[in-house]
Structure 1
């Protein structure tokens, strides 16, 4: 199993505010290749918000990308997630390796989510 535990104590960049411009800037800094994905999803969220007469799609978009940034700003966290995703993509892995990879993904997402939405993790 290639998934390793542990994260650095210092992130590459601070966690930005949960605003469109701040998150876009962070994505540009941390993973320029995902900027197009960010912009596409922003447009889709805006369209859904207008169609639904609700801010919920925009809030969900911001929460998702704040979580992505919370992962990317720790290189070890991002590597751990990527390694676990690669493990899960291998249809020949053992059940134990599958469980370990699934646990690693859950731990990374939980850690990132605690940074983004600390009030929901008590």
Structure 2
């Protein structure tokens, strides 16, 4: 979902580090901070138990996508609307909403991979 001139992101996309993501979440979605902390603790425990950084990489990647979406008010609102429709709509509405949610997530991932997340 592309942004028009008046739909600029609230903040620049931060690097996918725990500190930068935490600061971004405090700015764009402070209500998500408890989930961020809980999931960080879980990822750290899994990484420690498995002697593998994979869980921490997944955590950072998922939260970078979350921030990418939440820092864009129109996109964040559309995402919430689609989540609601996927959960509460009829089968056709849920399927269409899930498809669009997937597209938004894919676009966010691609933007982050390219480093062009404006």
- Structures share a fold, TM > 0.5? yes
Q: TM-score, normalised by structure 1?
A: 0.83
Q: Counterpart of 2:3?
A: 8
Supply the distance in 2 between the matched residues of 1:88 and 1:53 (Cα, whole angstroms): 37
Supply the distance in 2 between the matched residues of 1:51 and 1:82 (Cα, whole angstroms): 34
Deviation at 1:108, TM superposition (A): 1.3
Q: Deviations over 1:66-95 (max 9, x none)?
A: 01001101111111111111111125x252
The match for 1:57 among 55, 58, 74 is 55
Contiguous gaps of at least 5 residues in structure 1: 1-5
Q: Aligned residues, how many?
A: 112
Q: TM-score, normalised by structure 2?
A: 0.86
Deviation at 1:99, TM superposition (A): 3.3
Q: Counterpart of 1:107?
A: 103
Deviation at 1:104, TM superposition (A): 1.7
In the alignment, is the contact (CA less than 8 A) between 1:87 and 1:98 conserved in 2? yes
Q: Which has the higher contact order (CA 8 A, sep 6+)?
A: 1
Over the aligned positions, Cα root-mean-square deviation in angstroms equals 1.7
